[in-house]
Amino acid sequence: MLLGACALVQRFHLIPPPILSIFPFCPLMAEGNVRRVPSLCRNMNVISCTKVTLLFNLSNMFTIILLMAAGALTGHLLRHIRLLRQVEKSASLTVFALLFVLGLSIGSNQLIIENLDRFGWQAAVLATAGTAGSILAAALVVQLFFNKKKEKKA
Amino acid sequence: MKKNIAIVLFFGAGCLAGLLQSGKIDVHGLSLYILYALMFQVGLDMGSNGKLKELLNSLSPKLLLVPTATICGTLLFSAAAALVLSRWSVAECMAVGSGFAYYSLSSILITQLKEASIGLQAATELGTIALLANIFREMTALLCAPLIRKHFGRLAPISAAGVNSMDVLLPAITRCSGKEMIPVAIFHGLLIDLSVPFFVSFFCKL
């Protein structure tokens, strides 16, 4: 699906291939890839980069929604099978697998490992700020808009 | 607690394995397929508990408030972080914040979009910071989900998760906030996912 979409873009020469190559194969930014983009396409980058990324993002999301819907349908049809109650457990096992792969890609990424001590604290400040901000805003929304419903129910 | 230990162990083992191996492996393809498997299982779980209709009926326009809260809260506090980080401007800090834990996308976008204005060196640095900050956010949301739920209400773990509320964080959110939060979490994840390229490029051009 994803590769298909990228191939489509590539076939019609919408975006120079070097930029495309960044997206399907490296989730974490690799320094080499960014630098390898020929300077001729540089000026195009700014415009086309967003387009490719959006395309990638949308096709990826489309697949995810489709899979989820397929899962819901299958689950609904097979809801009497006992084994399905174990899905919750297998889902968290899948998350562990995903975390392992995330660790793998971080551990093997020189850019991250070498820069952790230089940029780590700045990243930590920004991460803390972003997380704290969203948590507080969510708490505010619950307080203002969602607690009344709860009282009604009780 | 047991879950948290498992999370750290799996993640740490992955990091170690990544450090030790020298050759290149196609991690991205692998992670994509695992993600697909996860989403299918999430669907299975939703479909099989027989409350699919109730879940779908619980969607209301009011739920738009949740992604709005995530976006406003994150951007506001990221802007405030610029006070501490004197090297970067307010807009640059907001660009990093508007990755909403989508580390791969935000870091690539920032590096590419910022290169024209602040040069390759600084753009790569900001991209790396975006990468690290958004990974940190994902890990924080994952490890602290029960704590966040306890002190800030049932919507807070969803907001903290950002874009990951629909995939990696969904099992954790379901466990802390209850099954009725699944549609909200997915809806939130989708909207934030769509907003990332928009906000990142907006703040990069500012």
Supply the pLDDT for residue A40.
35
Supply the pLDDT for residue B13.
93
Give the pLDDT band of residue A20 (cuts 50, 70, 90).
Answer: very low
* Three-state SS letters, B8-68: HHHHHHHHHHHHHCCCCCCHHHHHHHHHHHHHHHHHHHHHHCCCHHHHHHCCCHHHHHHHH
B53 min Cα distance to partner chain A (Å): 11
- Residues of chain B neighbouring A92 (CB-CB closer than 8 A): 3, 171
Supply the pLDDT for residue A150.
52
More confident residue, A114 or B127: B127
Is B62 in contact with A57 (Cβ distance < 8 A)? no
Supply the pLDDT for residue B89.
94
pLDDT in tens, A117-129: 888 999 999 999 9
- Supply φ then ψ for residue B23, to 5 degrees: -75, 170
A131 min Cα distance to partner chain B (Å): 5
Q: Give DSSP secondary structure letters for B91-124.
A: HHHHHHHTTTT-HHHHHHHHHHHHHHHHHHHHHH
Supply the pLDDT for residue A121.
93
Average pLDDT over residues A12-38: 38
pLDDT in tens, A57-107: 777 788 888 999 999 899 888 888 888 778 888 988 999 998 999 888 888
Supply the pLDDT for residue B46.
85
Supply the pLDDT for residue B30.
84
Number of H helices, E strands in chain B: 9, 0
Distances (CA, A) of B53 to A84, A91, A146, B134, B183: 18, 22, 21, 34, 11
Q: Give DSSP secondary structure letters for A16-47.
A: -HHHHTHHHH-SSPPHHHHHHS-HHHHHHHHH
Mean pLDDT of chain B: 89
More confident residue, B50 or A19: B50
Mean pLDDT of chain A: 70
Query: Contact, B52 vs A126, CB < 8 A?
Result: no
Who among A78, A90, A135 is closest to B41 (CB)? A90
Query: Which are the contacts of B139, defined by CB distance < 8 A and separation ≥ 6?
Result: B11
Q: What percent of chain A has pLDDT over 70?
A: 58
CA closest to B27 among chain A residues: A105
Average pLDDT over residues A4-20: 41
Query: Contact, A16 vs A51, CB < 8 A?
Result: no
pTM score:
0.79
More confident residue, B152 or A43: B152
A153 min Cα distance to partner chain B (Å): 14
Give the pLDDT band of residue A154 (cuts 50, 70, 90).
Answer: very low
Supply the pLDDT for residue B66.
94
Assess whether pLDDT exceeds 60 at residue B197.
yes
Joined tokens for residue A115: 């820069």
Query: Which are the contacts of B22, defined by CB distance < 8 A and separation ≥ 6?
Result: none
Assess whether pLDDT exceeds 60 at residue A30.
no
pLDDT in tens, B37-89: 999 998 898 888 777 777 778 788 888 999 999 999 999 999 999 999 989 99
CA closest to B46 among chain A residues: A72
Report, in angstroms and rounded to the nearest whole number, the Rg of chain B calculated over CA atoms: 18
- Residues of chain B neighbouring A51 (CB-CB closer than 8 A): none
**Which residue from B200, B111, B29 is spatially nearest to A115, judged by alpha carbons?**
B111
Coil, strand or helix: which one is B168? coil
Assess whether pLDDT exceeds 80 at residue A25.
no
More confident residue, B163 or A86: B163
A65 min Cα distance to partner chain B (Å): 8
CA-CA distance, A105 to B103, in Å (whole number)?
12
CA atoms within 13 A on the CB side of B198: 7
**Vertex A65, ends A63 and A70: CA angle to 5°?**
95
Assess whether pLDDT exceeds 50 at residue A39.
no
Distance between first and last Cα of chain B: 43
A27 CB within 8 Å of a chain B CB: yes
Query: Which are the contacts of B154, defined by CB distance < 8 A and separation ≥ 6?
Result: A142, B176, B177, B178, B181
Alpha helices (runs of H) in chain A, residue ranges in sequence order: 2-11, 17-20, 22-25, 31-36, 39-77, 87-107, 110-141, 147-153
Q: What percent of chain B has pLDDT over 70?
A: 98
Is B48 in contact with A87 (Cβ distance < 8 A)? yes
Interface test with B, best of A36, A113, A134 (most B CBs within 10 A): A134
Q: Would you give the DSSP letter of residue A14?
A: S
Supply the pLDDT for residue A62.
85
Interface of A with B in 99-128 (CB under 8 A): 99-109, 111-113, 115-116, 119-120, 122-128
Amino acid at position B2, single letter: K
Amino acid at position A9, single letter: V
Who among B42, B128, B137 is closest to A131 (CB)? B137
More confident residue, B177 or A54: B177
Supply the pLDDT for residue A86.
85
Query: Which are the contacts of A131, defined by CB distance < 8 A and separation ≥ 6?
Result: B74, B137, B140, B141, B160
B107 min Cα distance to partner chain A (Å): 7
- Residues of chain B neighbouring A27 (CB-CB closer than 8 A): 27-28, 31, 104
